[in-house]
Amino acid sequence: MLHVRTASGEEVAAVSGDNFQTVLDLKRHLRTLHGYPVCLQKLVYDGRLLDDYDVDVPEVGEMQLILLAEVNEEVDSEAWHTAGHELVAYAGRFGHLESARFLLQAGVDKDYYCDFEDAAALTVAARHGHTEMVRLLADAGSSFKEAGLLAAATGGHPEVVRFLLDADACEDDIALTRHALQVAVYFGHAEVVPLLVEAGAKQDWQDCDGKTALMHAVSSGHTEIARCLVDTGANKDLRNTAGVTALMLAAVYGHTEIARLLVEAGADTEVVDSQGRTALEHARLRKRKSHAEIAAFLQEVTPSASGTKVKRPRPSPRP
């Protein structure tokens, strides 16, 4: 049996050395047990400092673990970057709080930007939904709360979104909240959307194609999100760059429940797009059963369905 002890003599592991192919594997095992970052561990056996890729892992005896108290870029740039990478790609990605605490205490930059992850630790933790890791890094003063909010909205992590909103991640940044809302809607994260709306995200902002959050919800068939946006005041009759409204999109994609939802909420059934087509006409052009259901429904509720006057398109004011 191999006994691993600290400098004070405390035993931190008793293992069979033949279970590890390399010393690095043993270090990773110690990280799993105690949170000791691999980059801060030095293992000494029989007076010899072991190399990470040494395949001769001792099977029995006493091994000493030395934990580095500090990493300094000026002293050892490579070690400093390795530690930063471990903060982002391991602690941030997997939410290992103890490893993060060790690394921060050793002087690793809380905002170290890892090219491999294309992000800093807080952003990666938010992306994977690790609320307590996000809290730890935010409390440490990370400047990536805004990026973290967008990552959490994209990944659909309401607890992280709620924490970052409470931590003033937006700081009245309307552009950030509306962008976060758009991506949350696009990916169908129904628990995230109301949090962003409540935080003041501008629902009727239109992207480069003129699509609003409601239009994205309709196109993707996210009924619950569409209902939330309608109930919280989203404009149902804005047009995108092709003059298409949310109701027309529901007709195009055959989303019967959403079409009914929009009409019951007062969506204009008579408006036409840039090609002169109403939602009813869009439904009639398609062949699925859901399109026929929408066409029948719109036939009943559209006053001009018999061919009388329809409303001509007017430019939608951009909020």
Measure Cα distances from 72 to 67, 82, 103, 250 in Å: 14, 11, 12, 58
Q: What is the CATH number of the domain that holds 25?
A: 3.10.20.90
For residue 161, is it within any domain? no
For residue 274, is it within any domain? yes
Total domains, the chain: 2
Of 207, 200, 197, 192, nearest in space to 238 by CA: 207
Which of 67, 93, 122 delimits the end of a domain?
Answer: 67
Enumerate residues 6+ apart whose C-beta is below 8 A from 40.
67, 68, 71, 83, 102, 103, 106
Of 84, 143, 78, nearest in space to 113 by CA: 84
Q: Which amino acid is at 220?
A: S
For residue 259, is it within any domain? yes
Domain range enclosing 319: 219-319
- Sheet containing 11-15: order of strands: 11-15, 2-6, 61-67, 41-45, 48-49
For residue 89, is it within any domain? no
For residue 210, is it within any domain? no
pLDDT in tens, the chain (319 residues): 999 999 899 999 999 988 999 999 999 999 999 999 999 999 999 999 999 999 989 999 999 999 999 999 998 999 999 999 999 999 999 999 999 999 999 999 999 999 989 999 999 999 999 999 999 999 999 999 999 999 999 999 999 999 999 998 876 566 888 999 999 999 999 999 999 999 999 999 999 999 999 999 999 999 999 999 999 999 999 999 999 999 999 999 999 999 999 999 999 999 999 999 999 999 999 999 999 999 999 999 987 765 444 444 455 555 4
For residue 57, is it within any domain? yes
For residue 293, is it within any domain? yes
For residue 147, is it within any domain? no
Which of 19, 40, 67 delimits the end of a domain?
Answer: 67
Which of 67, 102, 123 delimits the end of a domain?
Answer: 67
Instruction: Determine the pLDDT at residue 175.
Output: 83
What pTM did the predictor assign?
0.88
Q: What is the CATH number of the domain that holds 262?
A: 1.25.40.20
